[in-house]
Amino acid sequence: MSAFSRGVRNAFRNKVRTFSVVLILGLSIGLALAMLLAHQAVTQKIDTVKSSVGNTITVSPAGFRGFSGGGNPLTQSDIDKIENTPHVVAISETLTDRLTSDQTNLQSSITAGSLGQRFSVSGGGGSASFGGEAPTDFTPPVMVIGTNDPTNLSSAGGGTFKLTNGQVFSPTSKDNVAIIGSALASKNNLSVGSTFTAYNTTIKVVGIFDGGNTFADAQLIMPLATVQTLSGQAGDITSAVVTVDSVDNLDSTTTAIKNTLGTAADVTNDQTRTQDTIDSLQNIQSISLYSLIGAVIAGSVIIFLTMLMIVRERRTEIGVTKAIGASNFKVMWQFMVEAMTLTLLAAVAGIIIGVVAADPITKTLVNNASTTSSTVSTGGGMFTQRFSGGGIAVGGGPSTSGAGPTFVARGRGFGAVRSNITNIHAAVGWSILVYGLAAALLIALIGSAIASWSIAKVRPAEVMRAS
């Protein structure tokens, strides 16, 4: 009988021991596989989160957040300072305003609904109702975006700019022209070449765009310089989206802009917002890695001690085998085959355990990860005064018209990332199973070889005398 056949048969020599070794080793292999899959899943999620971070920085007036807060607008001097910051390659400037019925002949394409009525102006005093009686005939104002980057819809509620007709005005244009959202154009029966009034001025429609969502399609996009002049806000900016030359320079450039502008502006980037999430995932990654290493070490020790015990029990058998001409390698090979047989059986059980347990273990680790939340504080200033007339609608005239909120998609990608964190799944691929099985067999070979080599060198005469 060959050494290979004897090795396979000897693996089942003691059925109780075989079952115990396979069970314990299987649990170890299963845990190692589950942790390997968890580590891989979390690593992929970290890469996804990092890849979702763009190379842009959002700069807004300190304390200014949409319909709440206040602060003073950014100035051209602030923009010049940002432009001179190292690694800054472009700046998208925006001034958002709201046109009420006495400032324009346009009608908003958005139906007020209960939310619009709730936040409408309640009366001549200019205080917002916020839950009180609201006028049932309230019509939302038309949002106008003055910008030097007309195809960027981050300040128009997000979306994807698609020009359906006409052309886009020049970023440096000072003409009384506008690109109008498809819904707003349809509501007011406008087409390319049509005109409307805003700020008591005739504005020409040069293009119509589709933004992909209701809010964006109700917007009016005009040249920045034109809105600044017509609204009486010369040089004012409500948002600046700064493009950096590389994601690697995002943090350093953000810090430089913060230091330059000081308390005059809030400076944020997606990387800052996602760092807490990445830190939590990296904690899970570390736990899964350490657990994987521990499970591999445990499996190696189990194999080594098991084979050490077996070869010592068969000391006499080894001596007889060598006495009839078996070489040291042949003796070692027999025990190595026995170890591989036990490991293969344990690997089958371990793969089943690992595949079944990987996803629940990964989700448990993710759900137990620490998460943090941030709060935003706002202060008073020019924007508070401009918005004091209410939540959405503000009285007419350039001097009293409300400069509308900046709907920069800050945190939009981050919110999507956060909502998908708990959707991490441990995917089992054939490559992982093959590599895992190969690693288990390698450990079995090394462990059994070391154990059997210590006995295989014994001389047959010494064994016979001892027995």
> Of 19-33, 59-73, 172-186, which gets the smallest average pLDDT?
59-73
Give the bridge partners for 177, in sequence order: 204
Encoded tokens for 377: 């504080």
- pLDDT tens digit sequence for 312-351: 777 777 777 777 777 777 877 887 888 888 888 888 888 8
Give the Cα-Cα-Cα angle 345, 346, 348 (nearest 5 degrees): 70
- pLDDT tens digit sequence for 16-34: 888 888 888 888 888 888 8
* Over residues 140-159, mean pLDDT: 81
Give the pTM: 0.52
pLDDT for the residue numbered 80: 92
* Over residues 450-467, mean pLDDT: 64
Give the integer Cα–Cα distance in Å for 203 and 193.
Answer: 10
pLDDT for the residue numbered 425: 59
Give the CA distances from residue 49 to residues 58, 163, 241, 350, 450, in Å, rounded to whole numbers and listed in that order.
19, 30, 21, 31, 45
> Of 45-54, 225-234, 418-427, 439-448, which gets the smallest average pLDDT?
418-427
> Of 120-134, 155-169, 247-261, 287-301, which gets the smallest average pLDDT?
120-134
Q: Where are the beta strands (DSSP E) in 18-66?
A: 56-61, 64-65
Residue 428 banded pLDDT, cuts 50, 70, 90: low
* Over residues 41-48, mean pLDDT: 78
In this model, does residue 391 exceed pLDDT 80? no
Query: What spatial distance separates the first Cα and last Cα of the chain, rounded to whole Å?
Result: 25
- Contacts of residue 82, defined as CB under 8 A and 6 or more positions apart, other chains included, come to 59, 88, 91, 240, 242, 257, 260, 261
Give the residue ranges of DSSP H helices in 395-457.
Answer: 412-421, 430-456
Could you tell me the residue ranges of all domains in the chain?
3-50+277-370+423-466, 75-237
In this model, does residue 466 exceed pLDDT 90? no
Mean of all residue pLDDT scores within the chain: 76
* Over residues 302-317, mean pLDDT: 79
* Over residues 151-178, mean pLDDT: 85
pLDDT for the residue numbered 379: 41
Encoded tokens for 293: 């290493």
